[in-house]
Structure 1
Amino acid sequence: MRIDILTILPELMKSPFSASIMQRAQDKGHVEIHFHNIRDYSTNKHKNVDDYQYGGGAGMVMSIEPIARVIDQLKSERTYDEIIYMTPDGEVLEQGLCNQLSLKNNLMILCGHYKGVDERVREHYITKEISIGSFVLSGGEVAASVLIDAIVRLIPGVLNDETSALTDSFQDGLLAPPVYTRPPEFNGWKVPDILLSGDPSKIEKWREEQAFERTKQRRPDLLEE
């Protein structure tokens, strides 16, 4: 997979992808992540990428021209499966969408700032709009990092144990069950006996029951869906 990130703060974006699983995924060749500074495509001598909004009102708006230039340049080099805009009013990011996007080859992600981008960018360039929740951030970079992390970890070969992602919360519509590791007892707190039984069928049944109960208690909306 190749992911191109359009941002005015590339230095902010690089840190999340320079360690741990994201770095290993790049080192192994499973994903390429490229950063494009939108300011580099501004023809203004001050490299401005925003302007006052028509009609008045507080807050600046990201201009269409530099964004269009970088998108057109990248589209001339390859075909993109999706051009994504991170925005609070987009489709809420859920596991099913992450699964779908993990199967793509080329993704472009636009990180907004200020009051957002000129609406014509959204109308004529963007193919998918995604939100990570009902709140507003200073910019789309953090949201893009969340999206990319959620996608890349699903690519075969990224995780040491590929079945791990299949048992994560939400993959089967339920939250994941409790997990334990050594020691079997700490401060008098014991690991459930069933997990020490060595009986795979009983353990699996226990995990399914626990996943259902945890979902019922914490996210009953998932059961309704």
Structure 2
Amino acid sequence: MSLRFFVFTIFPDFFECFKNFGIVNKAIKLGKVQIQTINLRDFTEDKHRTVDDVVYGGGPGMLLKPEPIFKAYDYIKTVSKNPYVIITEPWGRKFDQNFAKELSQKEDIVIICGRYEGVDERVKTIVDE
């Protein structure tokens, strides 16, 4: 069984280096893991491929908009029966050995890479961790 990762990001090229070197590359070559980067800009509808917006209610910074994330998630649901969704946030769950063991029991994992001040709160309706 191969563990599949779907990484939602606005910088997909950043992750290519991780896939081509070291232990991650070895796991890919052995067929133990698959990693697919999903460019959130591919799921936008405006000509500028906008993925961010101002913080609603005021405040500094920008948030990732929910629409591209929801559309990317809908796409993943066409290729995965039950993806486990994680969002990377400083205040989220700490990644440690126990969490790694838990994740190793999953088949498909979606990692939403936060950016700016985070993601729109509505996205948390699809998040498991």
Fold shared by both chains (TM-score > 0.5): yes
Structure 1 segments unaligned to the other structure (5+ residues)? 129-225
Amino acid at match of 2:61: G
Which residue does the alignment assign to 1:109?
Answer: 111
- 8 Å contact kept, 2:41–2:51: yes
Task: Name the structure where strand makes up a greater proportion of residues.
Answer: 2
The 8 Å contact of residues 80 and 108 in structure 1, kept in 2 or not, is answered as no
C-alpha distance in 1 between matches for 2:68 and 2:24: 29
- Structure with the larger RCO, 1 or 2 (CA within 8 Å, 6+ apart): 2
Residue 115 of structure 1: CA displacement?
0.7
The corresponding residue for 1:136 is none
- Sequence identity percentage: 35
1:81 Cα offset (Å): 4.4
2:120 is aligned with 1:118: yes
TM-score with structure 2 setting the length: 0.93
The one-letter code matched in structure 2 to 1:30 is: K
Q: What secondary structure, in the 3-state scheme, does the structure 2 residue paired with 1:6 have?
A: strand
**Residue matched to 1:127:** 128
Q: TM-score, normalised by structure 1?
A: 0.55
Corresponding residue SS for 1:89: coil
Q: Which amino acid aligns with 2:71?
A: R
Task: For 1:77, give the aligned amino acid.
Answer: V
Aligned counterpart, 1:25: 27
Gaps of 5+ in 2: none
Corresponding residue pairs, total:
127
Of structures 1 and 2, the larger Rg is shown by 1
Q: CA deviation at 1:39?
A: 0.5
